[in-house]
Each structure stands twice: as C-alpha cells, then as structure tokens.
Amino acid sequence: MNNAIINNMEITTVNESKINSVDFESIAFGREFTDHMFSCDFKDGKWQTPKITPYQPLTLDPSARVFHYGQAVFEGMKAFKDDMDDVWLFRPEDNFNRINISAKRLAIPEFPKEYFLNGLSALIDLERDWIKKGEGNALYIRPFVIATEPAISASPANEFKFMIICSPVKSYYKGKVSVVFAQDYSRSANGGVGFAKAAGNYAAQFYPTSLVQKEGYQQIIWTDANTHEYLEEAGTMNIFFRVNDTLLTAPTSDRILDGITRKSIIQLAKDNNVAVEVRPVSVKEIKEAAKNGSLKEIFGSGTAAAVSPISDFKHGEETFKLEEQEDSYATFFKKKLTDIQYNRTEDKHAWRVKVEK
C-alpha cells in the first residue's frame, strides 16, 4: 500500500486492484464496490482528518446509534466517462448541499464542503478505471453518514462517520416500470422527514412495495398521507406526468425529495420550450386524462434510475395502460440529460464537473 497526505487527506492506496475479478457485463446494481473508500469521523465536536483507504469492513459497537435509531442520511450520484476518457460528475454541489439539508433534519452535524468535494474528486480520480464508457455505464457514488456513538439512549449521537463508497453500475431499471398509486400505505407525513434522504424513509417503503410486487408491479407512486388524492413521488424517483404536451410534477415540500434529476428535467423542459407545470397533481385528473386519451406518458426521474418510463398504473381495482409515444418525452429528456452527463453536448448550465487527474 502507498501512503500520502494530499489536501489534508490521508490517502492509502491498494497494492493491487480487484478490478479484474469484476464482470462488468453482468454487474448487478450496488453489489460490487471499487478498491477504495473515503471516510471521515466526527468526534470531540468536529470532523477529523478525512481518509481514503482500501475498501474495508467497518467495526462498530452493537450499541452504535445507527443500528437502533436510524440516525443516518445518504446521497446518490454518478460519475460518467466520455469518449476521450475524461470523467465527469453531474451537479455534485447539489448533492453536497442536499446531504447537509438531510443531515440537519436528522440532527447530524454538517459536513464541510471542501472535505466533500476534495474527497469526492480524489476518490473518483483513483477509481477512474472502474468507470466504463458507453450509455448506461457509470460509477454510482454513495456518500452517507451514520451515527457511530456506542450508547442506546434515544438522543442524537456525538460521534458519526461520513463515508463515500463507489459501485460500478449499468442502468438501474430494465425496461418500463409498472406502478400502483398508493391508497393505504404512506411514505411521509407533513412535518416529517420525507424531503430528506433519511435512511428510515427507505426501509419504510419495502413492505408496501413487496405487496404490489406480488401483483406484478414494481413500484408505488406515493400519495399524500392525509387524503391519498395527490401524487407525490415514488420513493427512489420523482414523477412526471405528460398530459397532451404539458409536463406536470408535484412541487417539492417537506414530504417530497428535491430531486436533482427532477429539477434538471424541469430546466431542460424550459430550455426546449416544453410546457411544465409544477403543482399538485391529483389522482383524479390523471385517471381522467388516461380515460380521455390526453395522458401520454408517466416517467420517473432519479440518479439511480435516470429517466424511467412507466408502462401502466393501477389505482384501486382500475388499471391503465400507457401507449408507446413516437415523440416520447421520456426518451427526449433522457437523451438531453445523458448527452450532458456523458459530455456529448453543450452544458449551458455548467452542471458537468470534470474530475481532474
């Protein structure tokens, strides 16, 4: 192993990469990890020296707060390789800002910006061989923070670990997605943590999702917990509805994640003269639009999923199938977005950030 101190980071690299043991063609999402990881401990009231080390297990006391109280937040982002072998991040400062928004709501101390951006760059630079060229290939990057303090009182921890791990990925969903509009279960409450990438938000969706999966659906589009009349988000995706030629999506709130892909699509819609309405979208209007033929498409947006077209949806006992569109907005926005991500086009909003060698 080689050791160095760069940008106040302690960097220890592996002697030999495990990359040759990985079959990149048949890789499953989030199961293979790269050679290194970034970590930084919070103790004695401050974030300590950040480290890049070989990817390795964590050793934690069984009383660590994350195991008991779910005091943990995360982010999801991707790095892409262009045809010149340059590596690009997409709006990384937005992920940085959001992990601290999530952290604040979960009583986790904010992480310093330079630690995040320098650590991210140094780690991705080390792992650039893990990023394959070609549509759908990317390095999925998972920053996360966990409460490590060994004490089971139900109060915020005083010790945390911030980490970044990386996993080579192909596209997340295969083909189109069938969804159910939620009627009984809910994802989040007013005044709750739905807007945060809080760990507990995700496990809470597993059981209801497993119920719809038994019926052949993949995902739930969550509705407001109070009335179940308004469509909110899909847990791992924000949701867009195309009614005639207008895109509709729910406004962000304390129940809905402020998705980076979501806001990029809203901007791309404006850039391309596609009408977009950010407003509450009711189950009733979407069902009526499906019945009268004006509902053309539904698609999800998210870092893992990118743009995910939805083929059909169910609400109660009613099922609705969406026709294939010649001028698909899902296809259009996916291309616009990935062209920027893979450095195939102009990037007028400066969303792309090059990972320097």
What is the C-alpha to C-alpha distance for residues 221 and 45, in angstroms, rounded to an integer? Answer: 40
Q: How far is CA 243 from the centre of its chain?
A: 26
Q: Which residues between 306 and 345 bind a copy of itself (CB under 8 A)?
A: none
Residue 352: Cβ-neighbour burial (10 angstroms; 0-12, 13-18, 19+): buried
Identified binder of a copy of itself from the candidate list 199, 221, 281, 307, rule CB under 8 A: 199
Nearer to a copy of itself, 71 or 343 (CB): 71
Pull the structure tokens for residue 135: 């549509």
Among 121, 137, 201, 303, binds a copy of itself (CB under 8 A): 201
Binders of a copy of itself among 57-96, rule CB under 8 A?
Answer: 57-63, 65-72, 74
Q: Which residues contact 16 (CB under 8 A, 6 or more apart)?
A: none
Q: How far apart are CA 7 and CA 114, in angstroms?
A: 9
Residue 188 lies near a copy of itself (rule: CB under 8 A): yes
How near is the Cβ of 230 to a copy of itself at its closest, in Å?
14
Residue 226 sits in the site that holds a copy of itself (CB under 8 A): yes
**Placement of tokens 């997409």 in the chain:** 90
Please choose, from the candidates 227, 226, 235, 225, the residue with its C-alpha nearest in 3D space to the C-alpha of residue 200. 235
The interface with a copy of itself within residues 238-297 (CB under 8 A) comprises: none
User: Pick from 11, 126, 165, 221: which binds a copy of itself (CB under 8 A)?
Assistant: 165
- Helix or strand holding residue 196 (H, E): none
Q: For a copy of itself, which is the closer residue by CB, 47 or 185? A: 185
- Separation of CA 201 from chain center: 13
Residues that bind a copy of itself (CB under 8 A): 28-31, 33, 37, 55, 57-63, 65-72, 74, 104-107, 140, 142, 144, 146-147, 150-156, 163, 165, 167, 182, 184-193, 198-207, 209-210, 225-226, 235-236, 304
